[in-house]
Amino acid sequence: MAAATTVNYVNHRYRRFSSPTENQNKRRVTAYFNDVAINDGDKRPNKSTRLAKSISNLLNLYIEKPSLRNFLQLDESDAVAQAEAKLETPTMSPKEDISRIWREIHGGSDWENLLDPLHPAVRREVVKYGEFAQATYDAFDFDSFSEYCGSCLFNRRKLFGKLGLTKHGYDVSKYLYAMSQFEIPRWLEKSYVADTWSKDSNWMGYVAVSDDVESRRIGRRDIVVSWRGTVLPSEWYEDMQRDLEPLGHGEAKVERGFLSIYKSKSISTRYNKKSASEQVMEEVKRLITLYKEKGEEISLTITGHSLGGALALLNAYEAAMTFPTLPISVISFGAPRVGNIAFRDELHHKGVKALRVTIKQDLVPRMPGIVFNETLQKFDDLTGTLEWVYHHVGAELKLDVGASPFLKRGSNFIGIHHPETYLHLVDGYVSSTSTFRSDAKRDVALVNKYVDMLVNDLRIPPCWYQLSNKGLVSNKFGRWVRPKREPEDIPLPIQEENYDL
């Protein structure tokens, strides 16, 4: 399947269409952008029932077309030579001035004729935002034995410096935290041995803004919101079997779990007295006010991988309602479906531009709604608008693991879904019928940071990105201990953050 370069939106007449499950007693969530009300009714189907449903859905996966690799007859033996030839070359393309074309680069025409073949400026910008999304994993404290498990390892002023992202010319202005008010999934579990940081919340992303040099290059002051995904897709797949829930007072509906994470708050918590929604919108509003007073043109770009891509769409929807004239674009990686056709159409009518970067072999973008999804749109004349059916949003840049001579084949679903795999494939993508570009810039070794996706001949160890000695250090007595964080890296409640932008 070639990458989609055009999105044809259809004006639908919204008709009430009863869901087959509508009359069953369930625990329901009614969520509005002003507050969240959670009503506990009868228990939801037990886990065995949901597991059976999940297996049934997986059995309905469509059969993939032959791999692009088979079509192009790529030679894996050349992978080592290509990798060695790149060892003494720069890891990023030169920064070209896009100030005159930034609106097109950000979807002014829904990326028509810019994705297949991929425009070089689009590639570079997509990689930039993808690295912002990757940063939410690299800086997250996954260590279950850490007293700060679930927080960011560094304070916001050090984040990009620690991760080598100062090259992009952005400064982090605020950290974002999220929680959930129903059946806490495993990605929210805290430390096994200590819980002094937060038992309810996790660091979920950040807001950043382009500096003066970058703003001149890209033609406006760009506000970026980056949302983190989960550690593994298997950890939240079960939570994506929930029903669509109303969003506001219209016909738009979105997946229950995503909305709960975005909107949940509790006065008893330290970091989520305000929801992730309130945190991000307050900061975006502050930055817009600051730079509008300076007479600058402003854009909002929201990015995220996996669950982060779902939160990015919810964030874009709310921002479009609050700032109707603000250029808003979403660049997501491996994101699942979020809402129904009304949600998709409302985003379109509000002017939100969305680019979904997907991999053909990745299962996550097919969920939820593996069976009941936008493919049923062709039957609208018979069925009417199916408001309980999931729909993807925006244009699609579809990649293929088989296009890269550096990647292993097989059913490594975790490795395929990983954001570094996405960034590798974007960097090497030319078109749906072309080989992996020989002058791709990103370091191939990055693919194996957390997974085992590179061919063995490259001799790059899997999961090499980790703390030396698993974080333990030898003290002055020669005893191995867990070091204390630097005082400036200890997370503070969000109300204590200082703003210097």
Query: Which of the residues are catalytic?
Result: 306, 362, 417
> Between residues 488 and 111, which one has the greater pLDDT?
111
**Can you tell me the distance from the alpha carbon of 70 to that of 72, in angstroms, rounded to the nearest whole number?**
6
What the chain holds in terms of domains, given with CATH numbers, is: 28-93+106-188+197-496 (3.40.50.1820)
Q: In the predicted model, is pLDDT for residue 30 greater than 50? A: no
Half-sphere exposure in the Cβ direction for 266 (13 Å, CA): 15
Look up residue 250 and give its DSSP letter. S
Nearest Cα neighbor of 123 from 337, 347, 442, 402 is 442
pLDDT (0 to 100) of residue 124: 96
Note the pLDDT tens digit of each residue in 467-486: 889 889 999 999 999 888 88
Minimum mean pLDDT range among 173-182, 226-235, 446-455: 226-235
Buried b (16+ CB within 10 A) or exposed e, 27-61: bbbebebeebeeeeeeebeeeeeeeeebeebeeee
Q: In the predicted model, is pLDDT for residue 255 greater than 70? A: yes
**Can you tell me the distance from the alpha carbon of 299 to that of 125, in angstroms, rounded to the nearest whole number?**
14
pLDDT (0 to 100) of residue 145: 83
Query: Which H or E run includes 162?
Result: helix 159-163
pLDDT (0 to 100) of residue 380: 45
**Can you tell me the distance from the alpha carbon of 69 to that of 400, in angstroms, rounded to the nearest whole number?**
8
Note the pLDDT tens digit of each residue in 195-234: 567 778 889 999 999 999 999 999 999 999 999 998 644 4
